[in-house]
Amino acid sequence: MSATPTQTLIGPDLYRTVEEVSAELYKRSLTDLPPDVRRSLDRALAAEEGRHATMMLKIMRHAVETSDRTGLIVCQDTGIPVYFVGIGTEFQINGAKLLDALGDGIALATKRYNLRSSVVHPITRENHQTSTGREIPVMHLEFLDGADYLDLQLLPKGSGSENMSFLKMLTPADGLAGVKRFILDCVVQAGANPCPPTIVGVGLGGTADKCAELAKRAIRRPVGEPHPEPDIAALEQELLEAINLTGIGPQGLGGRTTALAVHIEYAWTHITMNPVAINIQCWRGERARARVFADGRIEYGY
Amino acid sequence: MATSADDAGTGAGNVGVIRLRAPFDEATARSLHVGDQVVIDGIIWGIRDATLIRIFDRDREPPANLTGAVLLHVAPSVRKRDDGGYDPVSVGTTTSTRMDRFTRGCLEELGARAIVGKGGLSQESLEHLRQIGGVYLTVVGGAASPETLQVEAIEEVIWEDLMPECLWKFRVRDFGPLFVTMDSHGSSTYQDVRDQAARNLDAAYARLGLTQG
């Protein structure tokens, strides 16, 4: 095993850096759409003929370009911040302080960039005006064996699409046919609400909580990048074609592109279980990512 | 102006686009038909979940004259100025479906003539639009950056304690393009698409190797 390089980013500097990176990620994710999303919207526009569908997609593209030019966030919905945090095993950090710093960065960006705080207490509806609160940002953690960096990916999840989330504990007897039927029916039921054309994230297997998490994890993937397993990739393609046969179209006003992609993630499950979860992402597919290295280098991406 | 939607070939300069000044009356609302494209100058009011819950579920009359109003389903990002006023940072549109049950109240009690949103409203709301005389205008959801540049000023903010879900008075110019998707003559593009999707389901199920039902 190679020698671990000396970590120079340590102490208070480390957590201040993480906080600043988190603030930057929040602003970036809302302003600069990933290149795969842009290409996907262009492909959709080329495939449409109807007046409404063409106009909707042109206006979406115009909004992306307007944000490039002006620095304005693309959508008004600043969302619920959802973090996927990868911690390199060769990167020394206090995990509790890391999570605090990520949350502090979200609050910092909210104030610094005058972002709407979209986060409230579920009963009192109190808003701290920080885009944070109990258990928010949502945190998903994983460890990266041998890596000497932090991998921080932020999805500011808007409510139009997040409200169109579904979970069904199907039975083994329902089979794959039941899974396919549920996914198609949910997309039809969601209709215009999640701002189509969408990215349909699907979780299969696990427990109820794991299944829902898998559906969320599925929308992290660059748009249209198939699952590495051919059988799953084929299922993704089959579902995408079926969804686009419905004709719901951009913004639910009719057209050929209801979804830009279907992404599936799966886990093994119980002998008696067949759970399926759906997490829909709107046409913007917002996400931003940063790698923070032990020597202090920061690389931004999506 | 370089920031208008004309850049996308979708905006106010196009032939066949109807320019309206808001607020407007019942006759204007009834003159609009599904398929029309509209831009608005004048005043539009931002309103959404918490605002509507306060008005209709808590019986608080808004201290504003909303006769003939254009209501926009929105909760913006704003920057507070030193003089206490607000400048727009992001003004977009939220999903209308959640506010569907307030449609009648907005038209009948508040006197609004247009609701601007995304995602559309129910067939029940369509009937209210027909009976009372109103129109639903679609703005492209998620495309807030061009929309923000069409807001000239935030003239008034009512119920700041609901931030960001206050009652917002926006002065707008070239606001749009907006698409008439539900009119006062019983037509709804959303319903047409839902009906078409239901007819397309057989083919979609077949693609998945399933039979319907």
Distance of residue B41 Cα from the nearest chain A Cα, in angstroms? 19
pLDDT at B3 > cutoff 70: no
Select from A66, A114, A252 the Cβ nearest to the Cβ of B3.
A66
Nearest to residue A22, comparing CAs of A154, A205, A160, A180?
Answer: A154
Secondary structure of A249-265 in HEC code, one letter for each residue? CHHHCCCCCCEEEEEEE
List helix spans (H) across chain B. Answer: 26-31, 49-52, 103-108, 123-128, 144-149, 189-207
C-alpha torsion sign, points A29, A30, A32, A37? positive
C-alpha torsion sign, points B150, B155, B159, B163? positive
Where residue B5 falls among pLDDT bands split at 50, 70, 90? very low
Interchain pair B89, A72: CB under 8 A:
yes
Distance of residue A99 Cα from the nearest chain B Cα, in angstroms? 26
Could you read off the pLDDT of B51-84 as tens digits, one per residue?
999 999 999 999 999 999 999 999 899 999 999 9
* Partner B, chain A 220-239, Cβ-Cβ below 8 Å: 238-239
Q: Which ipTM score applies to this complex? A: 0.91
From A285, which residue of chain B is nearest by alpha-carbon distance? B142
Could you read off the pLDDT of A246-267 as tens digits, one per residue?
999 999 999 999 999 999 999 9
Select from B10, B149, B193 the Cβ nearest to the Cβ of A253.
B193
From B49, which residue of chain A is nearest by alpha-carbon distance? A125
DSSP string, A179-226: HHHHHHHHHHHHTTTT-SSEEEEEEESS-HHHHHHHHHHHTTSPTTPP
pTM score, whole prediction: 0.94
pLDDT at B12 > cutoff 70: no
Residues of A whose CB is below 8 A from B210: 177, 180-181
Q: What is the mean pLDDT of residues B12-38?
A: 90
From A250, which residue of chain B is nearest by alpha-carbon distance? B140
Q: What is the mean pLDDT of residues B85-113?
A: 96
DSSP string, B106-125: HHHTS---EEEEBS---HHH
Per mean pLDDT, which range of A74-88, B4-18, B180-194 is the poorest?
Answer: B4-18
pLDDT at A5 > cutoff 70: no
Q: What is the mean pLDDT of residues A96-121?
A: 97
Residue type for A172, please? Answer: P
Select from B119, B140, B148 the Cβ nearest to the Cβ of A60.
B140
| Percentage above 70 pLDDT, chain A | 98
pLDDT value, residue B13: 52
C-alpha torsion sign, points B163, B169, B175, B177? positive
Select from A114, A125, A251 the Cβ nearest to the Cβ of B77.
A114
Residues of A whose CB is below 8 A from B17: none
Interface probe for A, chosen from B145, B162, B165, B201 (most Cβ of A below 10 Å), is: B145
Select from A67, A125, A251 the Cβ nearest to the Cβ of B141.
A251
pLDDT at B7 > cutoff 50: no
pLDDT at A72 > cutoff 70: yes
pLDDT value, residue A99: 98
Q: What is the mean pLDDT of residues A52-59?
A: 96
Interface probe for B, chosen from A41, A69, A76 (most Cβ of B below 10 Å), is: A76
Query: Are B91 and A116 within 8 A, CB to CB?
Result: no
Q: What is the mean pLDDT of residues B140-152?
A: 96
pLDDT at A3 > cutoff 90: no
Residue type for A136, please? Answer: I
**HSE value, Cβ hemisphere, 13 Å, CA-based, for A283:** 33
Q: What is the mean pLDDT of residues A274-289?
A: 98
From B201, which residue of chain A is nearest by alpha-carbon distance? A246
Interface probe for B, chosen from A37, A48, A51, A59 (most Cβ of B below 10 Å), is: A59
A123 touching chain B per CB within 8 A: no
Per the structure block, which two tokens stand in for A132?
């944070």
Interface probe for B, chosen from A48, A55, A62 (most Cβ of B below 10 Å), is: A62
pLDDT value, residue A109: 98
Per mean pLDDT, which range of A5-14, A136-145, A180-189, A242-251 is the poorest?
Answer: A5-14
Distance (Å, whole) CA B69 – CA B23: 5
Where residue B4 falls among pLDDT bands split at 50, 70, 90? very low
Q: What is the mean pLDDT of residues B135-159?
A: 97
Where residue A6 falls among pLDDT bands split at 50, 70, 90? confident
- Mean pLDDT estimate for chain B: 93
Q: What is the mean pLDDT of residues B108-126?
A: 97
Interchain pair A242, B207: CB under 8 A:
yes
pLDDT at B127 > cutoff 90: yes
* Partner B, chain A 16-55, Cβ-Cβ below 8 Å: 52, 55
Q: What is the mean pLDDT of residues A150-158?
A: 97
Query: Are B108 and A29 within 8 A, CB to CB?
Result: no
Q: What is the mean pLDDT of residues A197-209?
A: 98
A283 touching chain B per CB within 8 A: yes
Residue B57's CB is within 10 A of a number of other CB atoms, namely: 11
pLDDT value, residue B213: 60
Select from B118, B146, B200 the Cβ nearest to the Cβ of A66.
B146
Interchain pair B78, A283: CB under 8 A:
no
